[in-house]
């Protein structure tokens, strides 16, 4: 029943090669903590800046036709299409404030979402069993993704994907990336999986019940019900199987856990909480790590895990395994991956977090994050780009400062740290 993925045209691959350094994106989500858009040459944007939308469209049409897109299909897709001001506004907005992880999880793990998830597990039990058997991905994980991505298909976005991506390709911050996605979207239309009018999604071009971007769709969407179309908009079986296929391609390990909440011992070295560090469970146990209730860690001693502190040393701690990283391939956000794992457990009647969140901790605003990075840079801690994004380089810089201050080196940016930096500067 599964169709072979469409192979990208040469143009699409070339565009993706340019875009690869600009964005890591799988699906829409919040708090993409590790993803960062780096400054650099954006060839499509550089050319488009001096072109009207019509001029840009005509140039892109020639490229698309040269790559194999049918002229009539292109003209149908672009009929009466113009820039979408709302898409540009969304692309250019940089929120000053972001929700802390505990507030994000409160929404992601709401009582209503859990209840609906359990209903969907029952309603689609047969299909989920078939998908689980074929792809080896836990049905609870799939339903959790379905719930967070589109609220079980009720919130897929109603914008024209062609118009949104054309707007972003012409004037967006990541126009090379958007142009590659736009070409992939035309390939989907040419294959006949969906009509032009039916290809709707988010302002960023994420589509269907699983919120795939077009290139992810072309690589991983499947026709699970065997009707000849990979319909992730209207067919739950296709949507859920496509998500499972994507996770399997992202090195999902069947039957393995995503992670677990743990308790850290006195004097623990918080610098070990880093996604680049993997240790067998036996080594974590030797370091005094137990499960959240103080019992020995469950699982094979040789299983490698990484320590994650979403809110620093004052909040809950988690050991995450390979499947957590597979979820990150779907959406490169620690908060998102944690929400998926916890929601999957809640759907099974477990997954309650034992430790308390530091709810008195006021998250840094974007202006404050920029200031923090500027201070770190001025004081020689090398945070990388001053962009307001707390990525791996900034976290390492924070750890170096925390060690110098004699503080727990958890790499977590908070008001106390910013205050200390201001004091050192003055």
Q: How far apart are CA 68 and CA 266, in angstroms?
A: 63
Tell me the sheet residues that pair with 261. Answer: 318
Nearest in space to 237 (alpha carbons), one of 252, 250, 226: 226
403: pLDDT strictly greater than 90: yes
pLDDT at 293 over 50: yes
What is the Cα 152 distance to its own chain's centre?
Answer: 18
pTM for the model: 0.88
Higher pLDDT, 149 or 38: 149
- Residue 284 contacts residue 319 (beta carbons within 8 Å): yes
Angle at the Cα of 24 (from 4 to 114), degrees rounded to 5?
80
* Residue 87 predicted with pLDDT over 60: yes
Averaged pLDDT score across all residues of the chain: 90
Task: Specify the pLDDT at position 16.
Answer: 39
Task: Say whether 51 sits in a helix, a strand or coil.
Answer: coil
The per-residue pLDDT for 146 is: 99
Which pLDDT score is estimated for 45? 57
In tens, the pLDDT along 41-64 reads: 455 555 556 899 999 999 999 999
> Of 25-29, 63-67, 94-98, 230-234, where does mean pLDDT reach its minimum?
25-29
User: Of the given ranges (49-58, 142-151, 394-403), which has the lowest mean pLDDT?
Assistant: 49-58
Q: Specify the pLDDT at position 43.
A: 54
- Using CA atoms, how far apart are residues 176 and 215, in angstroms rounded to an integer? 13
Backbone dihedral angles phi then psi of residue 412, each to the nearest 5 degrees = -95, 125
Q: Is the dihedral of CA 37, 40, 43, 46 positive or negative?
A: positive
Indicate the helix (H) or strand (E) that contains 91.
helix 85-92
pLDDT of residue 95: 86
Q: Return the residue matching tokens 């949104």.
A: 164
Q: What percent of the chain shows pLDDT beyond 70?
A: 88
**Does the pLDDT at position 249 exceed 90?**
yes
Q: How many helices (H) and strands (E) does the chain have?
A: 19, 7
3-state helix, strand, coil in the chain (%, to 5): 50, 5, 45
Length of the chain: 426
Q: Average pLDDT for residues 249-261, to the nearest whole number?
A: 98
Average pLDDT over residues 69-93: 97
Average pLDDT score over residue span 80-91:
96
Tokens of 311: 């809110």
Give the pLDDT band of residue 85 (cuts 50, 70, 90): very high
CA distances from 102 to 43, 149, 334 (A): 39, 18, 12
Cβ atoms of residues 246 and 317 within 8 Å: no
Q: How far apart are the first and last CA of the chain?
A: 67
* Average pLDDT for 309-313: 98
Q: Check residue 42 and give its pLDDT.
A: 56
Give the start-end residues of each E strand in 27-163: 159-160
Cα–Cα distance list, 197 to 153, 166, 231, 282 (Å): 18, 15, 14, 55
pLDDT tier for residue 22 given thresholds of 50, 70 and 90 = very low
Q: What is the CA radius of gyration of the chain?
A: 23
Mean pLDDT of 34-43: 40
pLDDT at residue 40 in the model: 38
Residue 49 pLDDT: 66
Contact 80, 346 (CB under 8 A): no
Taking the C-alpha atoms of residue 183 and residue 181, their distance in angstroms, rounded to an integer, is 5
User: 6: which DSSP letter?
Assistant: P
Q: Which of 212, 269, 286 is nearest to 242 (CA)?
A: 212
pLDDT at 12 over 60: no
User: Looking at residue 41, what is its pLDDT?
Assistant: 41
Residues pairing with 262 in the sheet: 291, 317
pLDDT score recorded for residue 213: 98
For the segment 299-315, the average pLDDT, to the nearest whole number, is 97
For residue 296, name the pLDDT band (cuts at 50, 70, 90).
Answer: very high
Residue 318 bridge partners (DSSP): 261, 308
**pLDDT at residue 31 tops 90:** no
Give the per-residue pLDDT at 244: 99
Structure tokens at 85: 């001001």
Confidence of residue 400 (pLDDT cuts 50, 70, 90): very high
Instruction: Say how far apart CA 64 and CA 413 lie, in whole Å.
Output: 45
Pairwise CA distance, residues 344 & 58, whole Å = 47
Q: Using CA of residue 277, residue 279, residue 281, residue 287, what is the dihedral sign?
A: negative
The rounded distance, in Å, linking the Cα atoms of 253 and 136 is 8
Q: What is the largest CA-CA distance in the chain?
A: 68
């Amino acid at each position: 029943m599964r169709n072979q993925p469409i192979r990208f045209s040469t143009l699409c691959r070339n565009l993706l090669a340019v875009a690869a350094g600009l964005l890591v994106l799988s699906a829409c989500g919040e708090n993409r903590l590790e993803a960062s858009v780096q400054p650099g040459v954006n060839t499509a944007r550089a050319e488009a800046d001096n072109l009207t939308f019509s001029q840009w469209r005509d140039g892109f049409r020639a490229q698309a036709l040269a790559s194999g897109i049918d002229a009539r299909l292109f003209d149908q897709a672009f009929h009466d299409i113009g820039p979408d001001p709302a898409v540009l506004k969304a692309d250019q907005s940089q929120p000053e404030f972001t929700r802390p992880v505990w507030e994000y999880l409160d929404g992601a793990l709401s009582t209503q979402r859990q209840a609906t998830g359990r209903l969907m597990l029952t309603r689609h039990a047969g299909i989920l069993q078939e998908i689980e058997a074929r792809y080896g991905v836990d049905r609870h994980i799939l339903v959790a993704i379905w719930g967070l991505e589109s609220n079980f298909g009720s919130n897929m976005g109603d914008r024209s994907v062609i118009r949104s991506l054309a707007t972003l390709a012409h004037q967006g911050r990541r126009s090379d990336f958007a142009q590659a996605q736009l070409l992939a979207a035309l390939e989907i239309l040419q294959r006949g999986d969906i009509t032009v009018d039916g290809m709707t999604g988010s302002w960023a071009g994420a589509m269907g019940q699983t919120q795939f971007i077009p290139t992810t769709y072309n690589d991983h969407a499947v026709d699970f019900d065997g009707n000849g179309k990979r319909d992730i908009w209207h067919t739950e079986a296709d949507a859920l199987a496509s998500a499972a296929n994507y996770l399997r391609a992202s090195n999902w390990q069947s039957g393995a856990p995503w992670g677990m909440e743990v308790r850290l011992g006195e004097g623990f070295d918080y610098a070990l909480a880093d996604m680049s560090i993997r240790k067998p469970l036996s080594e974590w146990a030797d370091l005094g790590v137990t499960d959240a209730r103080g019992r020995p860690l469950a699982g094979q001693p040789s299983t490698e895990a990484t320590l994650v502190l979403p809110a620093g040393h004052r909040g809950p701690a988690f050991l995450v395994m390979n499947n957590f990283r597979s979820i990150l391939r779907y959406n490169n956000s620690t908060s998102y991956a944690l929400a998926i794992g916890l929601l999957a457990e809640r759907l099974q009647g477990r997954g309650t977090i034992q430790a308390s969140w530091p709810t008195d901790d006021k998250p840094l605003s974007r202006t404050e994050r920029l200031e923090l990075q500027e201070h770190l840079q001025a004081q020689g801690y090398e945070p990388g780009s001053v962009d307001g994004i707390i990525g791996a380089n900034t976290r390492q810089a924070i750890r170096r400062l925390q060690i110098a201050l004699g503080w727990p080196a958890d790499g977590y940016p908070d008001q106390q740290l910013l205050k200390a930096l201001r004091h050192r500067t003055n």
